[in-house]
Amino acid sequence: MVSSNNAGQPSNSHDRDDNGILFQTFEWHTPSEPPPPRETYSTKSHYGRLNRLLPGLAAVGVTRVWLPPGCKANSPGGNGYDCYDLWDLGEFDQKYARSVKWGSREELRNLMDTAKREGIECIWDAVLNHKTAGDRTEDTWAVESDKEGVLQICPPRKIEAWLRYDFPGREREGMKYSGMKWRAEHFNGTDWDQRGQKNAIYKLIDDPAKYPKPSQQQSGNKTVQFGMNRLARFANKFRAEAPPRRPGKDWAQDVDDEHGNYDYLMFSNIDHSHPEVKQDLMNWGRWMLESTGISGFRLDAVQHFSYNFTKEWTARVHEVSQGKNGKDAFVVGEIWTGEVHRITKWLDVVSQGACAYDSPLLYNFSRISEDVRKGSKNADLRTIIRDSLLEIRPDVAVTLVTNHDTQPGQTSFTSMLPETKALWYAFILLRQEGYPCVFWGDLYGTRGPKAEPPACTVPDGKGGRRSLLPNLMMCRRLFAYGEQIDYWDAMSCIAWTRAGSPDKPGSGCVALLSIGDAKEKVEADNWTGKSISFGQPGDLYVDVLRIAEQRADVKIDEKGTGFFPCRGMSASVYIRKDAQGLEQLPMPFNLDAYAL
């Protein structure tokens, strides 16, 4: 039994008092039919859909939404991670469309107005690492690199790369918003040589005539160097010394050092050390805060671009936000890693009011889930926060169960037994530490070739299914307040209590997670439970995740203890039977987002 008094939200989330929830408003295959070129509104665009959904999301406790990267992409159907023009939010006719996939600039404006009325803040998914789909080619010096982008595998040569960005749609309107046209000098890497018709990682360099030729050490036995690098990555015992850096243009050095240097990720890699690049991106951050109504950013792929640039950029957007909103912007970085030190390294450099997604915690959910799936004796709920950001820096941890990258079929797909998702959501939503993020696909289901139904569903007693997720979100909003005491004394069942807060009438709860058998049994139907000191003698508690007809009373005895049961492979949340707000549960919620 452990008492916990960690801060409940990232320091810049500003939702500490009302137990805020961040909601990701899309999944990878979210359908959207934006307005055609000469129109500004569509009933089937995703922005229009979100506009209709926001009131219902606010009702279950959503206080902030994460919008997709709504800048002009490579194609009309691009999700936005294939970013072409940051300054085009669905306003200019370029890349074969005026709108972006998600909708038009006008629809975005309406969405922001609705969010403001509902008391919901919006953060923008900012893709600052790369661009794609240049308008014209340009000759530039480059060296072809190995697949990690670290070792040179051919002599310098000129390639023909799609690195001229003229933005003709904005150009026709006088380069509205930004006058910068991007050229090869604004990048340090790309992935396609038009002349050679070859896909590879090309590191862009300055004219070799300006600098001495690479030393013999650098151009030595590449096979040995490459093998050592692979051995270091997979055996994690030693790493070959990196070859001497070529003078002049190079990869950023203040990035994650996985694979030696992790600057290059994909497409045309932005050189954040270039003064024009830096200024344009600074201006863009200011413009987004001042012109759209957003209050923060989700930064995509932060381990792949300069940490020091990110520090400077974050400080600038905080300054703008303070002037406009009287508070810092909300800034959260995405780093996919199971090694928490890689996340804290980024946080230590950026330092100023930034938080990060807790990917190690998500991987812990997956690990325990897979142990359960395989029937492993190693399945242990007590290890749920081991080596996670939540464990060491709960005040900057944004917790999540799934997102668009980890859903089935995606690049970072992370296996997770569907039956366990309700446990993980109960954990992130009802704990004092961390700031929970709920995924569109778990609330509404996903589309695409590996579509999945909404998560956390159970029989509704009427022959259908109902979702526990809206109810867990409501439990956070209504009851999950006050001092936290943990009961993590069994591998298969853990629990914690929240004492409640005087300014939240009826608040306080007992939460249990179970993945199977435990020493204490209630009946043969795979139930477990715990004796827990909570409340006052004579108090009655009920599990609000069950429908009213199935709620059994738990009575607190004269010693102040009650036995709280939980079915195997499920979560239970007990609330005082006479608590204010209990009548709202189970919460009616329409899981068909596409019917509205």
Domain boundaries, the chain: 7-128+275-472, 131-270, 482-584
pLDDT-derived band at 225, boundaries 50, 70, 90: very low
397 pLDDT above the threshold of 80: yes
In this prediction, residues 181-191 reach a mean pLDDT of: 98
pLDDT of residue 242: 53
β-sheet with 570-576: strand ranges across: 2-4, 484-487, 493-498, 509-514, 570-576, 540-543, 554-555
Angle between helices 359-374 and 340-350 (to 10 degrees): 170
- Bridge partners of residue 574, in order along the sequence: 510, 543
Of 27, 91, 263, 300, which is the active-site residue? 300
CA 518 from centroid of its chain's CA atoms: 34
Listing DSSP states for 363-401 in one string gives HHHHHHHHHHHHT-TT--GGGTTTTSHHHH-GGGEEEES
Question: Residue 195: CB partners within 8 Å, gap ≥ 6?
Answer: 159, 160
| Pairing of the two strands 435-439 and 22-24 | parallel
What's the CA gap between 253 and 304, in Å, rounded?
10
512 pLDDT above the threshold of 90: yes
Question: Residue 310: CB partners within 8 Å, gap ≥ 6?
Answer: 299, 302, 333, 346, 349, 350, 354
Task: State the residue for tokens 């939010």.
Answer: 89
DSSP state, residue 327: S
pLDDT of residue 10: 42
220 pLDDT above the threshold of 60: no
Is 300 annotated as catalytic?
Answer: yes
Token pair of 300, please? Answer: 């995509």
pLDDT of residue 202: 97
CATH of 482-584, one of 2.60.40.1180, 3.40.190.10, 3.30.470.20, 3.40.50.450: 2.60.40.1180
pLDDT-derived band at 214, boundaries 50, 70, 90: low
DSSP state, residue 323: H
What's the CA gap between 295 and 15, in Å, rounded?
13
Q: How far is CA 500 from CA 102, 351, 478, in A?
A: 41, 32, 10
- Coil, strand or helix at 546: coil
Of 547, 530, 440, the residue nearest 490 (C-alpha): 530
What's the CA gap between 160 and 198, in Å, rounded?
10
pLDDT-derived band at 238, boundaries 50, 70, 90: very low
558 pLDDT above the threshold of 80: yes
Q: How many CA atoms lie within 13 A of 382 on its CB side?
A: 9
pLDDT of residue 148: 77
218 pLDDT above the threshold of 60: no
201 neighbors 189 (Cβ within 8 angstroms): yes
Maximum Cα interatomic distance, the chain, rounded to a whole number of Å: 87
Q: What percent of the chain has pLDDT over 70?
A: 90
pLDDT of residue 153: 86
Of 431, 355, 327, 443, the residue nearest 23 (C-alpha): 443
pTM of the model: 0.92
Token pair of 323, please? Answer: 């002037």
Task: State the residue for tokens 């799934």.
Answer: 402
Q: How far is CA 378 from CA 383, 386, 491, 521, 573, in A?
A: 10, 14, 9, 21, 26
Element (DSSP H or E) covering residue 340: helix 340-350
Mean pLDDT, rounded, of the chain: 91
- Omega before 586 within 30 of 0, i.e. cis: yes
What's the CA gap between 200 and 129, in Å, rounded?
18
> What CA dihedral angle connects 369, 374, 378 and 380, to 10 degrees?
30
Q: What is the phi-psi region of residue 375: left when phi exceeds 0, alpha when psi lies from -120 to 50, beta otherwise? A: left
pLDDT-derived band at 11, boundaries 50, 70, 90: very low
| HEC profile of 241-295 | CCCCCCCCCCCCCCCCCCCCCCCCCCCEEECCCCHHHHHHHHHHHHHHHHHCCCC
pLDDT of residue 2: 54
| Pairing of the two strands 397-400 and 435-439 | parallel
Of 125, 191, 256, 334, which is the active-site residue? 334
Of 457, 568, 409, the residue nearest 29 (C-alpha): 409
Of residues 189 and 153, the one with the higher pLDDT is 189
What's the CA gap between 192 and 133, in Å, rounded?
11
| Lowest model confidence (mean pLDDT) among 18-32, 232-246, 454-468 | 232-246
Kindly report the backbone phi and psi dihedral angles of residue 23, in degrees, each rounded to the nearest multiple of 5, phi listed first: -120, 125
- Bridge partners of residue 511, in order along the sequence: 496, 573
pLDDT of residue 351: 84
Angle between helices 275-291 and 307-325 (to 10 degrees): 30
pLDDT of residue 405: 96
What's the CA gap between 140 and 190, in Å, rounded?
11
585 neighbors 547 (Cβ within 8 angstroms): no
Kindly report the backbone phi and psi dihedral angles of residue 595, in degrees, each rounded to the nearest multiple of 5, phi listed first: -90, -15
Task: State the residue for tokens 């909708």.
Answer: 103
Question: Residue 555: CB partners within 8 Å, gap ≥ 6?
Answer: 538, 539, 540, 541, 562
Is 405 annotated as catalytic?
Answer: no
Token pair of 530, please? Answer: 């715990």
Instruction: Considering the domain delimited by 7-128+275-472, tell me its CATH architecture.
Output: Alpha-Beta Barrel (3.20)
In this prediction, residues 28-52 reach a mean pLDDT of: 97
pLDDT-derived band at 366, boundaries 50, 70, 90: very high
pLDDT-derived band at 494, boundaries 50, 70, 90: very high
- Asked if the 131-270 domain carries CATH number 3.40.1160.10, the reply is no
pLDDT of residue 18: 76
